[in-house]
Amino acid sequence: MKKRIASLLLALPLCLTLLPTTALAEDEAASERTVIATVEDLQQFARAVDAGDYDDKTDAVVELAADLDLTGIEWTPIGSTVNEDGEVEHCFSGKFYGNGHTVSNLDLSDVYGATGLCGFFGDIENAEISSLTVQGTINVNSERAYTWYGAIAGFAGGCTIFDCTADVSFTNNENLVYGMIGLCGQASDTVIDYCRNTADILITGDMGSLYVGGIAGYVDGNSEIRNCVNTGEMELAAPTGGEIVGQLSSGGAKIINCYATGKLTPYGKGNTDIGGIVGVAGGSSGNAEVRHCYFAGEMDMSQYTASAPYGRLGAIAGSAKETTAFENNYYAESNEVTACGKGVEAGKARTYEAMCSEDFYNELTAGGGQYQYNTPSTPVLPAPKYLVTFVVAPADMTNVVITVNGEPVEENAELEAGIYTVTVAADNCETVNKEITITADRATHTQQLELRYLDADYSKVEAAIAKAKALNKNEYKDFTKVEEAVNAVVRGKNITEQTEVDAMAKAIEDAIAALEYKDADYSKVEAAIAKAEALNKNEYKDFTKVEEAVNAVVRGKNITEQTEVDAMAKAIEDAIAALEYKDADYSKVEAAIAKAEALNRNEYKDFTKVEEAVNAVVRGKNITEQAEVDAMAKAIEDAIAALEKKPAKSTPTATVKPVTVSAQAEAVKETAAVSSVIPQTGDNWNKELYISLFVLSGFALAGTAVLKNRKPHK
């Protein structure tokens, strides 16, 4: 990192020694980060660099978080300490993000020439400086030593300087100055992009070795100055000077797409190299390039005493090597000044008025220039573009499509400062629309885009849960598996987890399918069957309906079929209720009655018990009342058995005419006989029997009277 100032001084006459370039890509996420918000923070940072804390730390990130006013501050350029051997001991090699902020009132008048390196930074190597404006002044009041001066950095090796502005006026007051002057003093293997100088640089008097450029004093190696502009006025008594670059030296150095509109006043007798874009284009080796540039400033020849045609003065380049390539360059016609000294065709002349036209803009851009039409003035550079990185999360999204204002972009896109509508879409995700603001602030250059997966489809889960809720848990032997499956449902899954969600639904469905109904209650059936089995089928006229109902019982029904089971019980009960007992056997009764009727009641002392027993017979008894029927028969038999015959009488034999029972009496007898076989309903009083007996008794009495009347009278 260290370099010898003395060695550089010796090498300058030989077009300066080339410095090596180291290209490093660092992960800022793992880098050191310093935030500068105050002047004290800035001074502390400067001291840390000079103490070696940032040596070779290309991953270090320093961010300016506010505008800083250095009024009254004696500034020491950051990384400018030179030891006794002429070596720069320490320099900054990280990333310094100005974030569009300005460091103002930087007075380098006393610092200039006191050390070999001068500027906001002294020496930067393998560093990146961006979006920083430095405003101040240098007013030289005495002769100074050889100095690498740049408003941003005195020396830059292997660096990138992007979107920076130099607004530090320089006046030497005819004091002898040496070295390099510009936004960057010397740029070696360095890219300076989208930078501008707006300050006046006034170098008057006799000068020594001095390279002056609005953007860079001296450019070598594979450096490229592109998209840069100078609007500051320049008075150049320097040996080598241009509004963009002083000298484009050895190697493949380039000036691309740059322009200058500041007033240019060359000094001298024609022995200095002064150009509207570059003083000297080309070195001792390599092929320098100047392309797509234009100079539209006023050329004030009042201090230039050489005669035309000019050998070392040009509106594009003061002088050029034969190997230098010029393309698509233009300049404003003025005072017989051509594009390049010695008649080298470095560009085309146009009137200033023509250069303000749309035709000129079209001509310039058709040739490859990157400009914007800027009526009523000359074309301007497009706004700086910042590398914006879109970080899409989650990182495993597929088929991610990012559009900015409707135009597809990659994850890394170059965007101008402004407000944009960003749309992000990916497989299985909700489309995100986001408004972003891009500024010079480095923090806006990484845009986090959070995507959200579409929700998983829970419709199957909902259906399964609804199905479970519709069930009566009390109907099942064990409902816990269903409840567990329902309670295990996890909400909020996204579409990438659809398989898990479907598995939840399946778990519920499987638990439902595995449910077993409780057994139906057969207690009523069992009671009815027991009741049927307790019956003596032989007592009934027809027991088949009961047997059929019992045989129709189907076992194994579950609780949902309880109605069917209860119907089976009812069928048995109904069949039992419909049973009819068989009639009781009245044969003994009939025999007893017949036996009684065969008796001659008149032969017995008292026949009433027999008659009462006969009259007590109740018809219509069923088999369950057989004992009662048999008792009726027995009562008659017992009454008959208890009869006592009347004693026999000794009387003359008389012929007794048999009593003739009238037809009416016979009818009554038949009626009584019929009545004796008609089933009764339990009434113990037989009215017809009593009437018949009464009539028969009447006839008997009448017969007795007749017989009595026929006895011989005594």
The pLDDT of residue 83 is 81
Task: Considering only residues 114 and 40, tell me which one the structure prediction assigns the higher pLDDT.
Answer: 40
The Cα 609–Cα 639 span in angstroms is 6
The pLDDT of residue 698 is 54
The fold for domain 385-453 equals Immunoglobulin-like (2.60.40)
What's 461's DSSP letter? Answer: H
User: Contact at 8 Å (CB) between 686 and 675?
Assistant: yes
The Cα 37–Cα 289 span in angstroms is 41
**pLDDT tens column, 466-475:** 999 999 999 9
Q: pLDDT tier at 84 (50, 70, 90 boundaries)?
A: confident
The pLDDT of residue 80 is 92
**pLDDT tens column, 42-72:** 999 999 999 999 999 999 999 999 999 999 9
What's 248's DSSP letter? Answer: E
The pLDDT of residue 306 is 94
The Cα 166–Cα 504 span in angstroms is 66
The pLDDT of residue 207 is 80
The pLDDT of residue 616 is 95
Q: pLDDT tier at 77 (50, 70, 90 boundaries)?
A: very high
The pLDDT of residue 588 is 96
- Name the token pair of 204: 């008057």
Q: Taking the domains of the chain in order of start, what are their residue ranges?
A: 5-353, 385-453, 459-513, 523-577, 587-710
The pLDDT of residue 648 is 84
Average pLDDT over residues 253-272: 97
- The HSE-up count of residue 380 (CA atoms within 13 Å, CB side) is 10
- Is the pLDDT assigned to residue 699 strictly greater than 70? no
Q: Which residues are 635's β-sheet partners?
A: none
Query: CA end-to-end span of the chain, whole Å?
Result: 194
- Nearest Cα neighbor of 133 from 157, 111, 152, 158 is 152
User: Among the listed ranges 264-268, 340-344, 583-587, 662-666, which one has the minimum average pLDDT value?
Assistant: 662-666
- Is the pLDDT assigned to residue 668 strictly greater than 70? no
The pLDDT of residue 342 is 92
Task: Considering only residues 370 and 678, tell me which one the structure prediction assigns the higher pLDDT.
Answer: 370
The pLDDT of residue 25 is 34
- Percentage, residues of the chain above pLDDT 70: 87
- Is the pLDDT assigned to residue 612 strictly greater than 90? yes
**pLDDT tens column, 614-654:** 999 999 999 999 999 999 999 999 999 999 999 987 655 54
Which phi and psi (to 5°) does residue 529 adopt? -65, -45
The pLDDT of residue 706 is 37
For domain 5-353, the CATH class is mainly beta
The pLDDT of residue 81 is 86
Task: Considering only residues 367 and 27, tell me which one the structure prediction assigns the higher pLDDT.
Answer: 367
**pLDDT tens column, 479-521:** 999 999 999 999 999 999 999 999 999 999 999 999 999 999 9
**pLDDT tens column, 679-688:** 443 444 445 5
Model confidence, pTM: 0.67
